[in-house]
Structure 1
Amino acid sequence: MRLEIDGVDTVIRVIGEGPAVLALHGAATIEGHEWARALASRFRIYLPFHPGFGESGPAPHICGMQDLIVHNLRLIAALGLDRPHLVGHSMGGWMAAELAAVAGERFARLVLNAPAGLNPPDHRGVDLTKVAPQDLPQYLAHRTEVAARYFPGGSLAPPPEQFIAARERESQALSNIRKSHGVGHPNLRRWLSRIPNETLILWGDRDRVALASQAELWAREIPKARVHIVPGVGHFAMQEDPSCITTIGDFLDG
């Protein structure tokens, strides 16, 4: 689907039948949306590309996460979604948490998959901006070969020139989001108690980007949260272990 949301050309991939799920991707679209096929028999999943990411158009006016919150609230209104479930991975988890803190009544259940945003000093993961491009797969997945599939030369990767162009474009879009407060608002932790939704916090125990030790910090602040730690997987937990997708589906089913 293609919609104009507040002047931004927004592309949304849609798959499946059933209760609606809005799924928010992270700070890049490297791993794609193939994971959603495993839920397509149970849910109708809406997979928007954030402004400036993937197939969506640029949005140079964006200067912080709050612009993305307004964008997504307008998006669900344009899609006519009535209390969809909300799922977010990494930066998309931070986005989903802020959405639920501001407008949790607009959503059903909430899944935060290795969310960014809190930045606790005692639980810092690796800064991917300081990692050489060829080394990124070993930080994104515990089993490096899983992440390597999405990088140049991998079985699921686009041609190298397309891959590089996409990363440059998405890096600029991410820079716009980080303009106000970096990766995470300094008061996000204070806001989490406003989230009214039943919440699943899912994390791979070998995540090197966002440490799983953060999970209890999130759960302590969100009133109706539960934690599910997945052994032996990293930041790309759903790509490394398909049982993660089953766990998410079962949770959303209630």
Structure 2
Amino acid sequence: MDIAFTEYDRGRTFLLLHGGAGPASMTGFAGLLAERTRSRVLVPTHPGFAGTVRPGTLASTRDLAAAYVEWLDRLDLSRVTVVGNSFGGWLAAEIALLAGPRVTGAVIVNGVGIEVDGHPIARVAGLAPAELRKLSFHDVTKAPAGPGPGPDVEALIAYAGPAMADPTLLDRLGALDLPVHVIWGESDGIVDVGYGKAYAAAIPGSTFTVLPESGHLPQVETPADLLEVIAGPGRA
């Protein structure tokens, strides 16, 4: 399967996986990450997003993860760190579970996909743009201008389902055997910090970091803070 992507080539490889906000939510951060780490940064567009076609064979998050693993094999990439936000965080976890030694690290940023008692995922389908921005941002003035979600919501629901969760994922995360960093915006109104703590607790040896004054999209709202956590201060 062909997957459209943008590449920032600097050496080692980061695979940045967008969520429902689409690939544009990752492009600015990709440039920062490539510059700071001097790494190769790939920013794919999930089939069905941004006007691309979603094949009927891609009907779940695990289907999409398997397609990405096949794509990594075809590109013969190794030592890949997968970084995913929101739905992309769930996808990053699924890829890490499937990929074997090609993937050597994962970063889950305000991910969805698990079910946590007392910490429900906000229902975003049908929300007005202003309501969605309020849930997604600590400071709504940092939200990109635009009308809000469009047809991409259909692709998101096709992969993630209306509940945006897989009841088996929480238990399956225990099989991850690689460095995983779970990062959460403190003001996330879609999946709160308690949900993030449960995500990290399910992954053996994971690290959990909370970003203050940041919401569901730290790579958009507080990219410098997210970069410091992923790349480290002053790292070349």
Question: Does TM, normalized by the shorter one, top 0.5?
Answer: yes
SS in 2 for 1:122: coil
- 1:34 alignment partner, SS class: helix
Find the counterpart in structure 2 of residue 84 from structure 1.
Answer: 80
Q: Determine whether 1:100 maps to 2:96.
A: yes
SS at match of 2:188: coil
Please provide the CA RMSD for this pair. 2.1
1:250 aligned partner: 232
Distance 1:45 1:83 in 2: 12
Q: 1:163-207 CA distances to partner (integer Å, 9 max, x unpaired)?
A: 77xx21x1221232135x842221111111111111111001100
Q: Say if 2:25 and 2:219, in contact at 8 Å, map to a contact too.
A: no
Query: What count of residue pairs does the alignment treat as equivalent?
Result: 230
Matched with 2:28 is 34
Amino acid at match of 2:196: A
> Is 1:18–2:21 an aligned residue pair?
no
Q: Which residue of 1 aligns with 2:171?
A: 190
Distance 1:210 1:61, change over 3 A: same
Change (3 A) 1:126 1:211: same
User: In the alignment, residue 7 of structure 2 is paired with which amino acid?
Assistant: V
Distance 2:100 2:137 in 1: 31
1:223 and 2:204 matched: yes
2:146 counterpart (148, 151, 161): 151
Instruction: Measure, in 1, the Cα distance between the counterparts of 2:4 and 2:173.
Output: 29
Question: What is the CA distance between 1:89 and its match in structure 2?
Answer: 0.6
8 Å CA contact 2:200, 2:207 repeated in 1: yes
Q: How does 1:128-207 map to 2 (within 5 A)?
A: 128-147=124-143, 149-152=144-147, 167-168=150-151, 170-179=152-161, 182-207=163-188
Gap regions ≥5 residues in structure 2: none
Runs (4+) off by over 3 Å: none
The 8 Å contact of residues 136 and 189 in structure 2, kept in 1 or not, is answered as yes
Aligned counterpart, 2:54 = 58
> For structure 1, which runs of at least 5 residues remain unmatched after alignment?
153-162
**Identity value in percent:** 26
Q: Helix, strand or coil: the match of 1:52?
A: coil
Amino acid in structure 1 at the alignment position of 2:146 = F
3-state SS in 1 of match to 2:62: helix
The 2-side partners of 1:57 and 1:130 are apart by: 22
- Other structure's SS at 1:40 match: helix
TM-score w.r.t. length of structure 1: 0.83
Q: Identify the residue that residue 159 of structure 1 maps to in structure 2.
A: none
**Partner secondary structure for residue 197 of structure 2:** helix
Distance 1:108 1:55 in 2: 31
- Kindly state the Cα deviation for residue 214 of structure 1 after the two structures are TM-superposed: 1.7
**Gap change, CA 1:108 and 1:33, over 3 Å in 2:** same
Match 1:71 to one of 58, 67, 73: 67
